[in-house]
Amino acid sequence: MENIQQELLKKLSDESSINEIQSYIKKVMEIRGFTKEKSSDKILLLVEEVGELAKAIRKNEKKLGIDKTKEYNYSSIESEIADVFIVLLSICDVLNIDLFKAFLDKEEENIKRTWSVNK
């Protein structure tokens, strides 16, 4: 199973599109046995991963105290952002959302808005 995942991962590159990455995540979620998870399960996981990202950012900023005895347990910001992205793509898969199309559609809306920083 690990070899299959490695082969799928090797097909991705710096030039891979969001759709290709989304397809990869769909395949590895199937391999890992996560196909029965509902969107409500995945949104809880997303919130958990966002919390871990917040902790990694807090640790990095060094403005707030952290438990130095557990510092080795903290993940990097890059790792946590990747986890958030992976879970987001898996939610898109469960809900049959083309993330790239959703992004383009939303940006078309955002372009028409007036943002307070632009005033």
The 10s digit of each residue's pLDDT in 55-89 is: 888 888 776 666 666 666 668 999 999 999 999 99
pLDDT at residue 89 in the model: 98
The parts of the chain modelled with pLDDT lower than 50 are none
> What domains can you pick out in the chain, each with its CATH number?
2-10+17-98 (1.10.287.1080)
Task: Please check whether residue 39 is in contact with residue 70, taking contact to mean a CB–CB distance below 8 angstroms.
Answer: no
pLDDT at residue 64 in the model: 65
Rounded-to-integer distance, Cα 47 and Cα 50, Å? 5
pLDDT at residue 60 in the model: 81
Confidence (pTM): 0.84
Hey, how many other C-beta atoms are within 10 angstroms of the C-beta on 22?
Answer: 20
Backbone phi and psi for residue 6, each to the nearest 5 degrees, phi listed first: -60, -40
Rounded-to-integer distance, Cα 12 and Cα 111, Å? 31
pLDDT at residue 115 in the model: 84
Would you state the structure tokens that stand for residue 67, as one six-digit string?
């438990």
Rounded-to-integer distance, Cα 15 and Cα 38, Å? 31
Going by C-beta distance under 8 Å and a sequence separation of 6 or more, which residues neighbour residue 16?
Answer: 24
